[in-house]
Amino acid sequence: MAMIAAEAEPTYLDNENTIASWLLTKDHKRIALMFLASITAFFFVGGFAATLIRLHLATPNGLLQPSMYNRMFTMHGVIMVWFFLIPSIPTTLGNFLIPLMIGAHDLAFPRINLMSWYVFNLSGLVLLYALIMGGVDTGWTFYTPYSTSFSNGYVFAAALAVFVNGFSSIMTGLNFVVTIHRLRAPGMTWDRLPLFIWGIYSVSIVMLLATPVLAMDTLLLAVERFVGTGMFDPLRGGDPLLWQHMFWFYSHPAVYIMILPAMGLVSELIACYARRPIFGYSGMTIAMMAIAILSFFVWAHHMFVAGISIYSAILFSLTTFFVAVPSAIKVFNWTVSLHKGAIIFDAPMLYALGFVLLFTIGGVTGLMLATLGVDVPVHDTYFVIAHFHYIMVGATVSAFFGGVHFWWPKMTGRHYPEAWARFAAILAFAGFNLTFFPQYILGNLGMPRRYYTYPAEWQSWNLLSSAGASILAVAYALPLFYLGWSLFYGKRADPNPWRATGLEWLTPSPPPKDNFEHTPTVLIGPYSYDPESDRYTTQDGVSHA
Amino acid sequence: MPSATIRPETQYATLHQQGEAAQLGMWVFLATETLFFGALIFTYYLYRISYPEAIAHASEDTVLWCGSVNLALLLTSSLTMVLAINAAAQGRRGAAMALLLATIVLGFCFLGVKGYEYAADYSDKVVPAVNFTLKPGEPPASELFWIYYFVATGLHAIHVTTGLGLLLYVFWRLRQRRVTAAYYAPIEVVGLYWSFVDTVWIFLFPTIYLAGRL
Ligand SMILES: [Cu+2]
């Protein structure tokens, strides 16, 4: 009887079909899909700029004018950081899954959620305006006094775009924190929350406390640029380093805004595909919160050669080392979780394994950069570029793709084609390493970042990197086609195709508008998988064969 | 019963839960606001330490009585605000509306005094990049003080204006009997915001008006 009733109920996708029912929706699941559309568009705009950069760097003489090259790497950085990576997992999978995973019927503030999407797109339009009018050549870091007094790009509009974008981040983070605090289903205690929720919770705190500082920083920059005040102008007594301090107070934590939700997400995938409980659940939650808190005390490691005092440099080097401890705990726990598991190598798991490996490489090279003696020579070289791309692209984007595949049946009610997905995952891993590993070597040889040319003897490494980028581009474009195909021709998914344990798998795929017919009651923690007998128990306490 | 028409939104089981979520939401929002203004006040102290004389010198040119009257206005408005919340919680609708109205009037008076002060600042030629002349013997870095002054008080005035909009909205909801003793979270939440706006002024006041006078 219950099955018939559940099937008769329209899903969130087809309960209303007008355009207004989408544009004015308060349903977190629809808003998640709208965010997915927006950030996918920005991902390909930012990717287009990356393609031009790698094409240009394939030969020492390049194909772009120097000023155009500067505009391309700025556009790539600004779009990828604020318009793809930071919103990527939270606004799409977070938005979709938080209420489903904690057994709620929506987020706490559905109107604020919708407004966040509009504000995000508004800021995107302001940025596109800046790009079309002539672009910005400062790099995504907008360092003063170049950005305020000398740059002839559209710095004001770009700073405004980043400022407005921050409101979207804050609205989303606020909604998530309140939802996780106040709307958990009966029995969903803090120690029974899926690790993805912990990842989102910790990232929301970072978003809420870091974003306002960037907002103030960009506001002062915009005022200086627009009215001509001298807050950052050394000629008038201003301090250009002030910009950097406030910028990195946000932008270092921003890296953790990108990685924390990915860490939570990958924990879900590893447990499900290894058919084993996550090793050290509480260690995982503590590590995520520790990373969130420590992220606020490391910002000046970006400024070791900017002229800060040697004593504060030593201090910030030390705090940066501390971050390695919780990060290593997580890598250790993921690895142990795989041990003696009955591992299934489906596409989401391939992405998850890629995440662990690439995050480890990116993290270890991060430690090298945290060391004062190493940082001074390799600062502002391709070593740094390779390091943060291993974290932001190798880790975060892998996790994002893994998550999109894993929850695709839940979001759309359709299966993706497994063979194509595995092929894309492997291609992405190969293309990524081919693109970015040579950049470690180039950085070590001394190739500076943001230069539009280089000596001829570095061409082979650059060519390798550009070749890898073309593979990566194919791997990232492929899902667009086969996932789009699956929307119409994919096999229909049942409520729990992966035999996973979270509450989101108790409701039909795709879920009805209000998520659950009855608010579920939670009896146990997540990840009750048994690798021996192949049984698993969903969080409502029901055991399945 | 008019209060029977207030129902929780679908994601909430009870009105009580909805009210608690709204309160937590406002506290979290105020945390972000604290970081926002905190970053600005941080820049102030950076320059205060770098250029103590210039900042003190510039601070003496602020209109002390305007700042002080405004401090009194906002503190009083916070009192009427909490009394309004109290009255709403006890179901004294008329009193709540009267007190809310008093809060709104005090808020508008604040903006009036602030506007007058801006006009005085303009004729004193202390508006950076717009109308700014250094007084004889004044160090150039004093311009940094005036940037801080206009950004800080400007942002604060925007917050006061937002607060007034929220107060008018709650006033209207009280009139409509959509805020009652059974569900008065909206007025409580707006009250939190108004107290924050007041608190910001308490922090801005000494940095702006007292730096050169103590
Ligand atoms: Cu950093």
Cβ within 8 Å, pair A212-B9 = no
Confidence of residue A311 (pLDDT cuts 50, 70, 90): very high
* Alpha carbons B104 and B95: distance in angstroms, whole number: 14
Residue A223 has its nearest CB partner, among B34, B54, B151, at B151
Q: Which two structure tokens, joined as six digits, stand for A180?
A: 């996780």
At B7 the pLDDT is 86
- Whether A128 and chain B come into contact, CB under 8 Å, resolves to no
Average pLDDT over chain B reads: 93
At A29 the pLDDT is 96
Provide the percentage of residues in chain A whose pLDDT is more than 90: 89
Residue of B nearest to A175 (CA): B25
B88-to-A107, B81, B92, B197 alpha-carbon distances in Å: 28, 11, 6, 21
3-state secondary structure of A109: coil
Asked whether the beta carbons of A346 and A422 are under 8 A apart, the reply is yes
Q: How far is the CA of A319 from the centre of ligand 1 (A)?
A: 11
pLDDT digits (tens, 9 = 90+) for A411-448: 999 999 999 999 999 999 999 999 999 999 999 999 99
Confidence of residue A2 (pLDDT cuts 50, 70, 90): very low
Kindly compute the dihedral angle of the four CA atoms of residues A85, A90, A92, A94, in this order, to the nearest 10 degrees.
160
* Alpha carbons A381 and B177: distance in angstroms, whole number: 64
Domains of chain A, earliest start first: 25-544 (1.20.210.10)
Cβ within 8 Å, pair A236-B143 = yes
Q: How far is the CA of A320 from the centre of ligand 1 (A)?
A: 8
Confidence of residue A8 (pLDDT cuts 50, 70, 90): low
pLDDT at A4 over 70: no
A178-to-A27, A331, B183 alpha-carbon distances in Å: 17, 29, 19
At A236 the pLDDT is 87
Instruction: Map tokens 């709204």 to a residue.
Output: B22
- Whether B158 and chain A come into contact, CB under 8 Å, resolves to no
| Inter-chain CB pairs, A–B, below 8 Å | 107
User: Regarding the domain delimited by B20-210, which CATH topology (the fold level of the hierarchy) does it fall under?
Assistant: Four Helix Bundle (Hemerythrin (Met), subunit A) (1.20.120)
pLDDT at A318 over 60: yes
Cβ within 8 Å, pair A208-B31 = yes
pLDDT digits (tens, 9 = 90+) for A464-487: 999 999 999 999 999 999 999 999
The whole-angstrom distance between residue A111's C-alpha and the CA centroid of its chain comes to: 24
The set of residues, in sequence order, having a beta carbon less than 8 Å from that of A3 and lying 6+ positions away, is none
Residues of B in Cβ contact (< 8 Å) with A246 = 39, 42-43
pLDDT digits (tens, 9 = 90+) for A125-176: 999 999 989 889 999 999 999 998 888 889 999 999 999 999 999 999 999 9
At B1 the pLDDT is 39
Q: How far is the CA of B48 from the centre of ligand 1 (A)?
A: 28
Cβ within 8 Å, pair A237-B50 = yes
Residues of A in Cβ contact (< 8 Å) with B147 = 223, 229-231
Asked whether the beta carbons of B112 and B70 are under 8 A apart, the reply is no
Residues of A in Cβ contact (< 8 Å) with B40 = 216, 220
Q: Residue A529: which H helix or E strand, with range? A: strand A528-529
Q: How far is the CA of A296 from the centre of ligand 1 (A)?
A: 10
A150 C-beta neighbours (distance < 10 Å), count:
11
Cβ within 8 Å, pair B11-A217 = no
3-state secondary structure of A516: coil
- The interface predicted TM-score (ipTM) is 0.93
Q: Which two structure tokens, joined as six digits, stand for A271?
A: 């447990």
Residue A178 has its nearest CB partner, among B25, B47, B147, at B25
Residues of B in Cβ contact (< 8 Å) with A178 = 21, 24-25, 28
pLDDT at A3 over 90: no
Residues of A in Cβ contact (< 8 Å) with B33 = 212
Residue B143 has its nearest CB partner, among A175, A230, A249, at A230
Confidence of residue A332 (pLDDT cuts 50, 70, 90): very high
Q: Which residues of chain B have pLDDT under 50?
A: 1-3
At A340 the pLDDT is 86
Q: How far is A519 from chain B (nearest CA, A)?
A: 10
Confidence of residue A227 (pLDDT cuts 50, 70, 90): confident
What is the three-state SS of chain B? CHHHHCCCCCCCCCHHHHHHHHHHHHHHHHHHHHHHHHHHHHHHHHHHHHCHHHHHHHHCCCCHHHHHHHHHHHHHHHHHHHHHHHHHHCCCHHHHHHHHHHHHHHHHHHHHHHHHHHHHHHHCCEECCCEECCCCCCCCCHHHHHHHHHHHHHHHHHHHHHHHHHHHHHHHHHHCCCCCCCCCHHHHHHHHHHHHHHHHHHHHHHHHHHCCCC
Average pLDDT over chain A reads: 94
8-state DSSP, A181: H
Q: How far is the CA of A291 from the centre of ligand 1 (A)?
A: 12
The whole-angstrom distance between residue A41's C-alpha and the CA centroid of its chain comes to: 15
The set of residues, in sequence order, having a beta carbon less than 8 Å from that of B156 and lying 6+ positions away, is B197, B200, B201, B204
pLDDT at A5 over 50: no
Angle at A166 between CA A390 and CA A161, to 5 degrees: 95
- Whether B133 and chain A come into contact, CB under 8 Å, resolves to no
* Alpha carbons A267 and A284: distance in angstroms, whole number: 9
Residue of B nearest to A179 (CA): B21
Q: How far is the CA of A298 from the centre of ligand 1 (A)?
A: 7
At A6 the pLDDT is 46
* Alpha carbons A201 and A187: distance in angstroms, whole number: 18
